Amino acid sequence: MGDGQSEESRQKERSEENAQIREMGTLKLENGPAKNGIELLTIIGEIEGHEAVSGSTKATKYEHLLPRLAEIEEDQQTEGVLILLNTLGGDVEAGLAIAEMIASLSKPTVSLVLGGSHSIGGPLAVSADYSFIVPTGTMIVHPVRSTGMFIGVIQSYRNMEKTQDRIARFISEHSRISQERLLELMLDSTQLVKDVGTMLEGAEAVREGLIDEVGGISQAFRKLHEMIEERRRQMA
């Protein structure tokens, strides 16, 4: 009888976890050997802002992640955060809002770029305390772009330039690349067809100072556990 109840309880827990992954892209990881309370966040597809993306497009909704990040900060059981990224970019303001929230967490954070972390995915990748990228992962940095008609072209250009400076400043403050070098990569006209910018593969992103280390999920977990243990010692 007890085994049946236990199995029913496990099935219910798995069902709740699957629903959490589907709706929020998050999952609590509490059963590792170190028994550290780790929150897993996924940032996948397009970063959705104030306007909803099409129904067929995978998207990360900032109105889902911001409350979750606030909850993580207040949750005493959560000791660290692992962020998995595979995004082509999206809404600039929403992406910067998520990146600022991650950067301001008091809990240790580690990011891992899988596939790609392009455009506004750059600030998201570097917002963690320590960042990894898989060998085949890519990052594309390019100037801020906008589509549509402009009224007052000079004013619109200046606004875009200010936004671009905000992004470059955030990335340089949270990584080892200088703002000047980042702007050089953004404005490179020799790499991307019909566009300016630079695509960096795993080791190149590390050499440029955008990402801390080439590695995968095991390295990311190992680093996060080390950071959690260090924080425990400091608070003891």
The separation between CA 176 and the C-alpha centre of its own chain, rounded to angstroms, equals 17
Going 135 to 138 to 139 to 140, the CA torsion angle's sign is positive
Give me the residues paired with residue 111 across strands: 83, 131
111, 117, 142, 172: the catalytic one is 142
N-term to C-term CA, the chain = 43
111, 117, 119, 131: the catalytic one is 119
Active site residue 225: no
CA 97-185-178 angle, 5° bins: 65
Active site residue 119: yes
In 92-152, where does DSSP find H-type helix? 92-103, 121-126
Residues with a catalytic annotation lie at 119, 142
